[in-house]
Structure 1
């Protein structure tokens, strides 16, 4: 089995490598290709990757290339983990929206739209190269904004499934609180990427006992603290929202907070510099503890599980993924991309049935889906007016003057990445 990781020079990659090494019985990789235009980062990351494989007695071969076509040739699956513009572009996404009184965040609001505009054309170009080189390969997208990027891939006819680590993070957290194995915890996870709720936590499978009320009663403070939300929000909802819902439920508070401290991008950039120095140490043969602070926890386990299910029979039959709605949420079009539990196999992902949703959740999902429609149109076709309409449609913006000011700033800060600007 051959896998290619596009964006293999990312500081995330040793997390992925560690999972591949530990879970080699689930996903028996013979060759892993790390693809990245940054040859210097590739050298550091691949050196550590080979040492991790060696320490854990993994027989797979790790190779590197800056050539996408060569890297994806004959691959059974291609994982995408890109950041177009790097941390510098992310830093801008997290700062200029604050000038208009709006949340500055890399995957939602105006910053998320900027990232989508930069990213979608690049991802589609890579996907076309994969299709020309190896049309049977699966594309697993971990590149944010995952929902919009996955929809672009599916809409263009690619074999693609989107992946996020939010759900597996909740699964692991709840398993610890319940003192059970993670595989015993099934989530009633519903929504869009970075706009989701855990409506139930079931033991043993989709039809198991819902222990969410018990979790909230016994561990509500800890859960709310992890979400950085007021306990009252969780209690009133009676469900566990993704921590990204904080940008919606406490928008003004978050804007004030973000204006008083360095951006997350600045923190991550400093962390990445330190990580890359660590990766260059020939004595290091395991992922460093600092990597846990970088983000992406349990990404490797989720990626292994998904790839194993798409390529064979090694993964879990039911996983949380991003895929076409196809009637699952009846208030959305079939070609909307949702994030729910799905049966995953060689033919792709099929969402499980979802009970009728409270309008509190369905309304916000519908609103953000409408924004994503417009965001994808802007990413594919460009133009100031399309950018403006997407911003105006976003529930975190929604005012004419805000959308006007944000449109100008978005284009000014991203001109080098926008072919039409």
Structure 2
């Protein structure tokens, strides 16, 4: 069996131990020779690496672990690079969420103004990463990118590095599929779905199980309960937090208005914005929940390990986030043509939508990249919403690449979550101050 060199870019992420665990639990399908953790924050990464090393010790002692802040060491002859960068870490995520809430606007890290701000921080670092990988990695390498906000990052890559060997993915649709499977009492891998949209902005139009469309059953369940199951902690511990339970519950309201398709939970921020904002705590957002929860849990485990030499690896669970990216990598590695939802340039997949839009649709993943499933035409309501969001995101990429204050203002004004240009200007001016040193200068 071939053995691979794999680098996790953003090795200091709180997700890293779970991803490492998922990789090694699949060693019979995807054997690693070397696992490299790369991060610009070496101190944070070294702490996470202590846990990663224990995971390797338990699951596959043959794997060589390297931790580094040097890009040549990180990427030299690498076959796969998993990119999970978070520019500005959770402290900047907190700003992305809290600045909009000051003005009664959705405060969320990837949707609305927060997502636009985060995207502006991430485009150029992502391009820098691609260039480093292309300089040092194997010529047949693949970057599997799940850095948020995925649509904006993918658009930046499309424009600046159109030939890069990058596959952009998001685990949110597969997270929804996990809930669907639990509701239907079937294995998640038995679901074959049709879906269209932008990242965090799409709809499931068909859910096939053994040749039968189970969407009507899911819709019936969703109209009463959203996409909640009786005990979310048994489905995925990550998505059993109070904020996530609310997200899945809110699907019932969206289905009551627009019952044709099952929406991605993130559409609540666009379709139910007033309700969502009224229920948000301006002083404690999802960023605080993560910092006080998953992040604290990880670094507490590091300190316990340093003090006692013991760590409970069972607490670093393998959820859909880790399993999904590994499954995608295996399909790339062995030309399996497995079907996944991925983010690709439209090029007619949605026939009545701009060709150059980065859309989220089904595709068969081969060693040469995705073979996209044709969706055909989509109805006016959904197309109109997507066109507005697409315009907002493209304008923000324009602003980033051109250093244009006016384009950034247009992007925020265009976004469905922002009520007026007056509010957009307040948001933009606050974001510029908060992102000093991260954003390009806007004139």
TM-score by length of 1: 0.92
Name structure 1 gaps, 5 residues minimum.
Answer: none
Q: Does 1:397 align with 2:425?
A: no
Picking from 363, 368, 382, the partner of 2:403 is: 382
Q: Does 1:340 align with 2:361?
A: yes
Q: Does 1:118 align with 2:141?
A: no
Corresponding residue for residue 200 of structure 1: 206
Corresponding residue for residue 49 of structure 2: 46
Q: Does 1:269 align with 2:291?
A: yes
Corresponding residue for residue 279 of structure 1: 302
**1:350-398: CA deviation from partner (whole Å, max 9, x where unpaired):** 2201142222211111111111211111222222112111111212125
Partner SS for 1:323: strand
8 Å Cα contact 1:224-1:234 kept in structure 2? no
What is the CA–CA distance in structure 2 between the aligned matches of 1:68 and 1:398, rounded to whole Å? 43
Deviates more, 1:41-50 or 1:7-16: 41-50
**1:47-98: CA deviation from partner (whole Å, max 9, x where unpaired):** 2112212222353222110112320111111111111111111111111112
In structure 2, do the counterparts of structure 1 residues 28 and 285 end up closer, same or farther at CA, with 3 Å as the change threshold?
farther
Q: Does 1:354 align with 2:375?
A: yes
Q: Does 1:228 align with 2:249?
A: yes
Q: Does 1:37 align with 2:40?
A: yes
What is the CA–CA distance in structure 1 between the aligned matches of 2:24 and 2:430, rounded to whole Å? 44
Picking from 245, 256, 260, the partner of 2:267 is: 245
**1:91-140: CA deviation from partner (whole Å, max 9, x where unpaired):** 11111112222111111111111101111111111111111223432111
Corresponding residue for residue 144 of structure 1: 148
What is the CA–CA distance in structure 2 between the aligned matches of 1:80 and 1:343, rounded to whole Å? 21
In structure 2, do the counterparts of structure 1 residues 308 and 171 end up closer, same or farther at CA, with 3 Å as the change threshold?
same
What is the CA–CA distance in structure 1 between the aligned matches of 2:36 and 2:224, rounded to whole Å? 43
Q: Does 1:127 align with 2:130?
A: yes
- Which residues in structure 2 correspond to 1:8-23 (within 5 Å)? 8-23=11-26
Q: Does 1:363 align with 2:384?
A: yes
Picking from 324, 329, 332, the partner of 1:310 is: 332
In structure 2, do the counterparts of structure 1 residues 37 and 320 end up closer, same or farther at CA, with 3 Å as the change threshold?
same
Give the paired residue count.
412
Higher relative contact order (CA 8 A, sep 6+): 1
1:38, distance to aligned residue in structure 2 (A): 2.1
Name structure 2 gaps, 5 residues minimum.
Answer: 229-244
